Amino acid sequence: MKSNVIYPFKERDDFLRDVVKELVGLRKQRKYTQEELNYRLGVADRLISKWECGLRTPTSFNLYCWADALDAKLKVVANDNNRPSTPIEQKVVIPINDNQIKIAA
């Protein structure tokens, strides 16, 4: 059985925006100011502000330390709650354009 699925390709910026949004929410929930978080991380003045506004790009290690400074852990989990009972078929990824890929059986 062949199936064609179009998956919208996510950019690196999409991933960063999602992670930063979660970290900003956590910072506010924990009632830390950006200045306090700068101090906890030991980074330059206003760096947290620049990360939160998208003016600078944090590295994956920066994101890990940022979460750790908020007493949280940064984990990337690939999870499929609707696992098929049969083994997954091997798929071939075919680029369509810059924004989409096609997955063919």
Tens digit of pLDDT per residue, the chain (105 long)?
Answer: 555 666 666 676 778 888 899 999 999 999 999 999 999 999 998 999 999 999 999 998 999 999 999 998 887 766 666 655 555 444 454 555 554 444 444
| All structural domains of the chain | 4-77+87-104 (1.10.260.40)
Computed from CA positions of residues 78, 72, 51, 21, in that sequence, does the dihedral angle turn out positive or negative?
positive
Question: Exposure pattern of 27-51 as b/e (b: 16+ CB <10 Å)?
Answer: beeeebebeebbebbebeeebbebb
Q: Whole-structure pTM over 0.75, yes or no? A: no
